[in-house]
């Protein structure tokens, strides 16, 4: 599977089917999920309607973390096997991942205001999400400042891998340092299936949306390198004719 | 081993003849602590509970600014290329660089710690706690800084980005270190924080040095 998609042309063929499938699935799942989350699910006993923002918040948090893991995995594949598309894939996942992290932080802050009466607390999970955002920004900046893209790929890959090894360490130490955040409630007592259903739908929907975004960003990136290549070739031939 | 000691000797000699640039971190450390004391109003009762955090911040910041130049000289004048051609593994080279950097930045700061303690009117136990947390955590600080430095050597605008890349890796160190200073008074070196700090330093050693070597290799490709 991995080496099968290494070829950009083959990836394009794969994307021709995968992109609409993921796109439609994301649209459908998110639409149904949002309908369940906002209209057709019970209010929370404690927080009433405010609990509905968690349907947006929890899936975003899930995607923001797993996107970094996927980015690191793609970087590892690129680093070990010099897989040409894995670099592009890792790079394409960074910006959507960072966007989901921002969404997590923003919805988390709004939820915090209603539930705990404050937008920001230096508690374990919030702090580690903020650090995750720093990791994403650093990764994207490395791509931005190193001009030679092959070199940038190797160095950004190293940074993603070192970051992903450190992410559990950071998470553990931040949790140990200060933890107010409620533990995971999925499946715990007081958690109704009518609340779980929209949550799972939205998690899947967000996942499909993320996959759709990534595939299209990879396609865009392939297209751009192709354009750049033809442009430089044309430039060279013009110079030859002038001589 | 001989190559490594030769490398260390060369770098120490270079630092000795650089006109004292290695002491810049020390100056930053002093200026930062003075500024903090002034900003906080100079009241000992206010400063004292904050002192471990301030001294640790001064240490981390003074170190963060020193990594940009760590490999830059060797990459620019081609000595790194020569070292690689000589067959010395890059991991040895990075280790040598880290040892020299530790000797030139952390050791002077450790030596200056009693004076900082005097300024901030710290108790013996707090000063000793600071000394041991810095000693145990410094490998992690140096190695992660060296990793970011190796990644960004030779690119414009690397300075701020270096801080951004290194900070997330140093956050666990900072958390455990400051708690460690406080628990040193009660539990001594057996405190859980010191075990955690040693663990962090060992992780840094295991990951950071090969990763720095790989980054330098990628830069020279």
Evaluate whether residue A153 is within a structural domain.
Answer: yes
**Partner-chain residue, chosen from A137, A151, A177, that has the shortest CB–CB distance to B175:** A177
Dihedral, CA atoms, A218, A223, A228, A231, nearest 10 degrees? 180
Bridge partners (DSSP) listed for residue A48? A44
pLDDT for A180 equals: 44
The residue among B42, B195, A179, A127 whose CA lies nearest residue B50 is B42
Q: Which B residues, 182 through 211, put their C-beta within 8 Å of a C-beta on chain A?
A: 196, 200, 203, 207-208, 211
In tens, the pLDDT along B75-95 reads 888 888 888 888 888 999 999
Q: Does A154 touch chain B (CB under 8 A)?
A: yes
Evaluate whether residue A203 is within a structural domain.
Answer: yes
Across A22-31, average pLDDT? 92
Evaluate whether residue A106 is within a structural domain.
Answer: yes
Q: How far is A153 from chain B (nearest CA, A)?
A: 9
> Cα-flanking dihedrals φ and ψ of residue B92, to 5°?
-65, -45
The residue among B175, B174, B141, B172 whose CA lies nearest residue B65 is B141
ipTM of the complex: 0.88
Evaluate whether residue A101 is within a structural domain.
Answer: yes
Please report residues of B whose CB lies closer than 8 A to that of A68: none
Where is average pLDDT lowest: A101-110, A186-195, A221-230, B177-186? A186-195
Evaluate whether residue A21 is within a structural domain.
Answer: no
The residue among A105, A44, A173 whose CA lies nearest residue B180 is A173
Across A168-189, average pLDDT? 65
Q: Does A161 touch chain B (CB under 8 A)?
A: yes
Distance of CA B28 to the CA centre of its chain: 13
Tell me how far apart the alpha carbons of residues B147 and B165 are, in angstroms, rounded to a whole number: 9
Evaluate whether residue A67 is within a structural domain.
Answer: yes
Evaluate whether residue A11 is within a structural domain.
Answer: no
| Interface residue of B163, B165, B174 to substitute, partner A, most A CBs within 10 Å | B165
Q: Do B171 and A142 touch (CB under 8 A)?
A: no
Give the DSSP H/E element, type plus range, for residue A218: helix A193-242
**pTM score, whole prediction:** 0.87
Evaluate whether residue A218 is within a structural domain.
Answer: yes
pLDDT for A236 equals: 53
> How many domains does one find in chain A?
1
Q: Do A174 and B168 touch (CB under 8 A)?
A: no
Q: Pick the residue with more confidence: B96 or A243?
A: B96
Please count the other Cβ atoms lying within 10 Å of the Cβ belonging to residue A1. Answer: 5
Domain coverage including residue A162? 44-182+189-228
């Amino acid at each position: 599977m991995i080496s099968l998609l290494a070829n950009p042309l083959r990836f394009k063929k794969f994307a021709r089917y995968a992109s609409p499938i993921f796109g439609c699935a994301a649209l459908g799942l998110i639409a149904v999920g949002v309908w369940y989350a906002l209209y057709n699910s019970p209010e929370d006993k404690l927080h009433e309607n405010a609990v509905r923002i968690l349907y947006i918040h929890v899936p975003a948090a899930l995607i923001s973390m797993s996107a970094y893991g996927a980015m690191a995995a793609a970087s590892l594949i690129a680093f070990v096997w010099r897989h040409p598309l894995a670099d592009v894939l890792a790079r394409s996942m960074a910006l959507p991942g960072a966007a989901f992290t921002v969404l997590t932080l923003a919805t988390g802050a709004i939820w915090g205001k209603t539930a705990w009466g404050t937008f920001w607390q230096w508690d374990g999970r919030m702090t580690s999400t903020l650090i995750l955002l720093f990791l994403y920004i650093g990764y994207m900046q490395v791509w931005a400042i190193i001009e030679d893209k092959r070199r940038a790929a190797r160095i950004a890959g190293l940074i993603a891998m070192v970051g992903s090894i450190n992410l559990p360490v950071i998470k553990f130490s931040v949790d140990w340092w200060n933890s107010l955040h409620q533990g995971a409630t999925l499946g715990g007592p007081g958690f109704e299936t009518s609340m779980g259903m929209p949550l799972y739908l939205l998690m899947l929907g967000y996942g499909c949306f993320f996959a759709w975004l990534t595939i299209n960003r990879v396609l865009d990136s392939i297209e751009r390198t192709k354009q750049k290549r033809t442009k430089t070739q044309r430039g060279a031939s013009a110079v030859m004719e002038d001589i | 081993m001989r190559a490594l000691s030769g490398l260390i000797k060369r770098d120490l000699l270079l630092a000795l003849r650089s006109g004292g640039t290695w002491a810049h971190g020390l100056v930053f450390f002093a200026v930062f602590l003075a500024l903090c004391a002034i900003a906080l109003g100079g009241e000992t009762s206010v400063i004292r509970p904050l002192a471990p955090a301030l001294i640790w911040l001064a240490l981390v910041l003074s170190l963060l600014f020193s990594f940009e130049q760590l490999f830059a000289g060797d990459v620019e004048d081609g000595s790194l290329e020569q070292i690689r051609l000589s067959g010395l593994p890059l991991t040895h080279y990075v280790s040598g660089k880290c040892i020299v950097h530790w000797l030139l930045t952390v050791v002077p700061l450790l030596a200056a710690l009693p004076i900082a303690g005097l300024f901030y009117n710290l108790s013996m136990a707090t000063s000793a706690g600071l000394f041991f947390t810095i000693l145990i955590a410094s490998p992690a600080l140096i190695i992660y800084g060296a990793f970011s430095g190796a990644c960004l050597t030779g690119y414009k605008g690397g300075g701020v980005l270096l801080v951004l890349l290194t900070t997330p890796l140093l956050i666990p160190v900072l958390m455990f270190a400051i708690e460690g200073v406080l628990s040193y008074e009660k539990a001594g070196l057996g405190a859980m924080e010191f075990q955690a700090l040693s663990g962090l330093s060992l992780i840094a050693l295991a990951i950071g040095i090969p990763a720095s070597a790989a980054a330098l290799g990628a830069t020279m490709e």
